[in-house]
Amino acid sequence: MTNKEKLLKDLKIGCGVARPVRSPRGTQLHCKGWYQEAALRMLCNNLDPDNAENPDELIVYGGLGKAARNWHCFDVIVKTLLDLENDETLLIQSGKPVGVLKTHTNAPRVLMANANIVPQWANWDTFHELDKKGLIMYGQMTAGSWIYIGTQGILQGTYETFASLGRKHYHSDLTGKIIVTAGLGGMGGAQPLSVTMANGVAICIEIDPTRIKKRLDKRYLDIEATSLDQAIASAQAAAKNGTPLSIGLCANVCDVLPAMIQQKFIPDVITDQTSAHDELNGYFPQGLSLEAALTLRKTDPETYKDMALNSMALHVRAILELQKKGAIAFDYGNNLRAQAMKRGVDNAMDYPGFVPAYIRELFCRGEGPFRWAALSGDPEDIRVTDRELIRLFPEKTKMINWLKMAGEKVEHMGLPTRICWLGYGERERAGKLFNDLVRDKKVKAPIVIGRDHLDCGSVASPYRETEAMKDGSDAVADWALLNCMTNVASGATWVSFHDGGGVGIGYALHAGQVTVADGTPEAENRLITVLRNDPGTGIIRHADAGYKTAIDVAHAKGVKLPMINMET
């Protein structure tokens, strides 16, 4: 039996039904090249039961974020990747493989577009109509672009946010501070560990007990409280002692926040990371048990959505009340504020989004979520990359501290992976380093390098990444398209363009890229070009908006800005 035949058997390709999927490991190719092999392994990794929220339904995270439209499409994608030539490109339309084109060896092996609807019709109602007809799929960000790496994928960005909050408001870290939030799903699950990494105390409210158990099992969450009183008491004791602690509480946040206000318990920080962007599949209304809510979603979706939006209004009003009483409030990019505005909370924007509050200065330097996966499946390969990055950037003390903490505290989900925010000029150096490690056999197999779509130049999202832009260009989506085209032109291994992300249909357009380090000179050229130009679009985007930091970085590092250079 050949490697290809064995893989088809192991993945039960052709059965067309749900089954557990795990990524192949090791050094043996099943495809005709490592670029196709990497796409196949990362697709499977997205659906690993240790990684995905609901793999039987092909849902990876974020409500409806899927890796393939249906199991038949998954089977055909796998078979097509196995046979794909090194000068061909597979086209994926919302999780469905629709064609293979003869291109060239430096072209992407896969091009994907997910959930893009003509703007006049870009809303959830239209999406759901098309979804029922089997014509579309919600790709979230990294679900439909095959570079989800579990909760770690947003872990450092969440840590950077809380660390920046500590520096801005407390001139320190979060020692002795209590953060209250909700949501322990694929993205929200990063919050408890991020807070404790910043030395704070977190109370994390989650209605689904299986999510709490998963975060406890994977060591993202320290303990579970059985009541609100116990959660508050444990949090106050830890804060008083300056001890980092994360506490899970199984409840509906819409019940908990008013109870906190009634008890006059005001946390230092209040935020939220439920999947509120999707009122049908991502948020649980007040007044229903978990089981009753799941039933109502199917039997009466319109009533469910109405109840969910009403609950979001209550939720945001509670956050505003806590803010009024002294808590620092910020939105974590799930469109909760805009959803509440649909139910009359006109002042929902009185608390800021996390990007303008804490992250934009990083974007102006071209910094963003550089992530990678070891296709060997051996965690030792990640330890090697961590060690070599520390050697490459000895001056980056924050990065070094992060990598050491991640090495000690982060449990891999699916293939061994890591994320590390790097800036313009640094990403391409890291990409060359990784390619050298593969070439010199210091790691056992090629390394996949990608990122979240939440990056400095790849998103147009007025309620998240591009909220409150200096020049008012929040909703201009040309930048996301330019980033997408730049990555295709630069030779990324696969490139994607989506609608919706973490804020919902019609609220964001965003691009993603993944590039493979296989140790060859060709890969080195691709990596250097992609990892220079991808964050380069972020420098250009923010310089064009008038941010001095971005202009200074562009001038210092040779990013050409024709208009600005002529004007100055």
**In 218-252, alpha helices (H):** 228-241
Does 426 fall in a domain? yes
Q: Which residues contact 264 (CB under 8 A, 6 or more apart)?
A: none
Does 418 fall in a domain? yes
Is residue 568 pLDDT above 60, yes or no?
Answer: no
Which residue reads 């006049």 in tokens?
120
323 and 191 assigned to the same domain: yes
Is residue 566 pLDDT above 80, yes or no?
Answer: no
Domain holding 20, by residue range, is: 3-132
Element (H, E) at 532: helix 521-544
> What angle (nearest 5°) sits at the alpha carbon of residue 508, between those of residues 503 and 514?
100
Is residue 398 pLDDT above 90, yes or no?
Answer: no
Which range has the top average pLDDT, 188-192, 380-384, 563-567? 380-384
69: tokens are 């439209």
123 and 183 assigned to the same domain: no
Is residue 342 pLDDT above 80, yes or no?
Answer: yes
Mean pLDDT over residues 455-470, rounded?
A: 96
Give me the amino acid identity at 478: D
Does 551 fall in a domain? yes
Maximum Cα–Cα distance across the chain: 68
Q: Which residues contact 459 (CB under 8 A, 6 or more apart)?
A: 453, 465, 466, 479, 480, 501, 508, 509, 510, 511
Per-residue confidence (pLDDT) for residue 549, from 0 to 100: 97
Rounded Cα distance, 391 and 239, in Å: 35
- Answer for the pair 197, 409: CB distance below 8 angstroms, yes or no: yes
Instruction: Round to the nearest angstrom and report the end-to-end CA distance of the chain.
Output: 66
535 and 452 assigned to the same domain: yes
Total of domains in the chain? 3
Is residue 381 pLDDT above 90, yes or no?
Answer: yes
Q: Which residues contact 485 (CB under 8 A, 6 or more apart)?
A: none
DSSP-derived pairing of the beta strands 447-451 and 509-517: antiparallel
Is residue 326 pLDDT above 60, yes or no?
Answer: yes
Per-residue confidence (pLDDT) for residue 77, from 0 to 100: 98
Does 224 fall in a domain? yes
- Gyration radius from the chain CA atoms: 22
305 and 415 assigned to the same domain: no
Per-residue confidence (pLDDT) for residue 271, from 0 to 100: 97
- Answer for the pair 185, 230: CB distance below 8 angstroms, yes or no: no
10 and 116 assigned to the same domain: yes
Residue 348's CATH number:
3.40.50.10730
**In 150-300, alpha helices (H):** 152-170, 191-197, 209-217, 228-241, 253-262, 290-299
Q: What tens digit of pLDDT does each residue of 226-263 get?
A: 999 999 999 999 999 999 999 999 999 999 999 999 99
Rounded Cα distance, 181 and 191, in Å: 8
320 and 377 assigned to the same domain: no
Phi first, then psi, for residue 393 (nearest 5°) are -125, 65
Single out the residue of 436, 430, 462, 428 nearest to residue 531, CA to CA.
428
Single out the residue of 107, 109, 84 nearest to residue 31, CA to CA.
84
Q: Cα separations (Å) of 425 from 144, 360, 367, 430, 534?
A: 28, 18, 10, 9, 11
161: tokens are 């946010």
396 and 515 assigned to the same domain: yes
Rounded Cα distance, 152 and 397, in Å: 20
Query: Which domain-ending residue is among 331, 352, 373?
Result: 352
> What angle (nearest 5°) sits at the alpha carbon of residue 187, between those of residues 183 and 193?
80
Does 117 fall in a domain? yes
343 and 427 assigned to the same domain: no
- Answer for the pair 306, 343: CB distance below 8 angstroms, yes or no: no
Mean pLDDT over residues 506-517, rounded?
A: 98
Q: State the catalytic residues.
A: 420
Residue 67's CATH number:
3.40.1770.10
Is residue 560 pLDDT above 90, yes or no?
Answer: yes
3-state secondary structure 56-80: HHCEEECCCEECCCCHHHHHHHHHH
Q: What tens digit of pLDDT does each residue of 296-320 get?
A: 999 999 999 999 999 999 999 999 9
Helix (H, G, I), strand (E, B) or coil at 385: helix
341 and 365 assigned to the same domain: no
431 and 313 assigned to the same domain: no
Mean pLDDT over residues 515-535, rounded?
A: 98
Mean pLDDT over residues 536-548, rounded?
A: 98
Query: Which domain-ending residue is among 330, 352, 374?
Result: 352
Mean pLDDT over residues 432-450, rounded?
A: 98
Single out the residue of 71, 69, 66, 75 nearest to residue 18, CA to CA.
71
404 and 306 assigned to the same domain: no
Q: How big is the chain, counted in residues?
A: 568
Q: Which residues contact 273 (CB under 8 A, 6 or more apart)?
A: 181, 182, 183, 185, 187, 188, 191, 332, 333, 334
Per-residue confidence (pLDDT) for residue 483, from 0 to 100: 98
Mean pLDDT over residues 426-449, rounded?
A: 98
- Answer for the pair 374, 346: CB distance below 8 angstroms, yes or no: no
Does 259 fall in a domain? yes
Q: What tens digit of pLDDT does each residue of 147-205 get?
A: 999 988 888 889 989 999 999 999 999 999 999 999 999 889 999 999 999 999 999 99
Mean pLDDT over residues 412-436, rounded?
A: 96
Q: What tens digit of pLDDT does each residue of 68-78 get?
A: 999 999 999 99
Does 500 fall in a domain? no
When the pLDDT of each residue in the chain is averaged and rounded to a whole number, the result is 96
Does 140 fall in a domain? no
In the chain, DSSP finds a helix count (H) and a strand count (E) of 21, 17
pTM: 0.92
Per-residue confidence (pLDDT) for residue 62, from 0 to 100: 86
Per-residue confidence (pLDDT) for residue 156, from 0 to 100: 87
425 and 532 assigned to the same domain: yes
**In 393-520, alpha helices (H):** 397-409, 426-439, 478-490
Is residue 567 pLDDT above 60, yes or no?
Answer: no
Query: Which domain-ending residue is among 352, 372, 396?
Result: 352
Is residue 347 pLDDT above 70, yes or no?
Answer: yes
Is residue 3 pLDDT above 90, yes or no?
Answer: no
Give me the amino acid identity at 363: F
